[in-house]
Structure 1
């Protein structure tokens, strides 16, 4: 793996862990909890994204995966289709979690993030912009891409999707994150462009954020249960 990829991973990890230092500083400056989390998250991930994209500059003119990159039109098409594929995969995964493992619908981690976003709208930039860019570069381009060059698709997608889920620290819903990882890896391989899963990831997160902001937690859980009923009926 190129040395710059290791620096990309290190940059991402530093951004994730920087809150242990940054948040106390923000509190000392007089910011409330939500504003402190929002401001520091955006600041740290803005810097991390700039550094990561700078490190990726040598890759801009090189093929990303074996084969020819799709045309711009196909990238746009698969980016749009990818949103629906990701939502459908999430629905199936959530249904399995609920029906097979008895895990309640809805992610507490997502709810907590949306509570911060309601109090400090600046925080919305994290899941809508910065997280999709950095996560797709880390988990799809670097981890999946490098494994895909050495091993087969199944092993590469298994490892990268498990790591993707683990980094979200929401282990009850690991299957949901894993399903997303599989879809985004498929989009990457299908178009040979990291732009495709980034755009699909952005659009999917935007949909989730908007729905979370305009509906109550009870409404969201009810919609998730209805969606799971539809999916269950279709599968069984």
Structure 2
């Protein structure tokens, strides 16, 4: 990968672990003028830091990619037109939902029915505490993940190896970094499908839209069933 792509990946990893210092800092500020409970302050701090740090990272990535020549072979070639792109994005959304269902089915057959996703449960708690977190989960998160895992990681690896190997490696890392090992197969399949959408359309906006639709649908469905 180029230095530009490596910088983007490093920036993303810094983002992942920035909450270790950032969340306590925001919480300390809240404690100075708020009478909210510790649980509420923690939730607000996570939400605020997540949104601000993701926006900052997106700005860094935009500066690194803006007006730069395209050398990513996945994005080279004839791109799909608007109607085709919409069709792939919407169709990809439904395929992503089916893939998640099949992944859980396979896991339940070989390992047993997995418990609820800890990652999703935490996100729901924060969303309940601060509904603005919907913006992070539904929009900011997918945009950032597609830029990092599909455009940069998958695209960068594809310049060095077979695209199938690049898709497998980037999707596996994508799954691992979600931190839900029992749902690793699900995240892995999601990553592969998003790689496919990017490869077929040559437009990173297509997997972004499919990812946004999926996250929004799953989150709203989970909130409706939240006890």
In structure 1, C-alpha distance between the alignment counterparts of 2:106 and 2:68, rounded to whole Å: 39
CA contact (8 A) 1:144 1:160 kept: yes
1:143 and 2:153 equivalent? yes
Q: 1:160 to 1:202 in 2, by over 3 A?
A: same
Which deviates more, 194-203 or 125-134? 125-134
1:229 paired residue number: none
**Which secondary structure does the structure 1 equivalent of 2:90 belong to?**
helix
CA distance in structure 2 between the aligned counterparts of 1:194 and 1:48, rounded to whole angstroms: 17
Compute the displacement of 1:51 (Å). 1.2
Q: Using the alignment, how far apart are the partners of 1:62 and 1:152 within structure 2?
A: 16
Q: Distance in 2 between matches of 1:63 and 1:48?
A: 21
Query: Which blocks of at least 5 consecutive residues in structure 2 are unaligned?
Result: 32-40
Deviation at 1:149, TM superposition (A): 2.6
Does the 8 A contact of 2:72 with 2:159 survive in 1? no
Which range is displaced more, 172-181 or 51-60? 51-60
Does residue 42 of structure 1 match 2:64?
A: no
d(CA) in 2 for partners of 1:82 and 1:35? Answer: 33
Structure 1: 5+ residue stretches without partners: 218-236
TM-score (norm 2): 0.90
Tell me the TM-score normalized by structure 1: 0.87
Whole-angstrom CA distance in 1 between matches of 2:153 and 2:96: 20
Deviates more, 1:151-160 or 1:161-170: 151-160
Q: 1:63 to 1:179 in 2, by over 3 A?
A: closer
State whether structure 2 residue 142 is matched by structure 1 residue 132. Answer: yes
CA distance in 2, matches of 1:59, 1:168: 30
Aligned residues: 217
Name the counterpart of 1:95: 105
Question: Structure 2 CA distance, aligned partners of 1:216 and 1:3?
Answer: 44
- CA deviation digits over 1:14-53, x for unaligned, max 9? 2111111111111211250111100111011111111111
Q: CA RMSD in A?
A: 1.7
Alignment partner of 1:102: what SS? Answer: coil
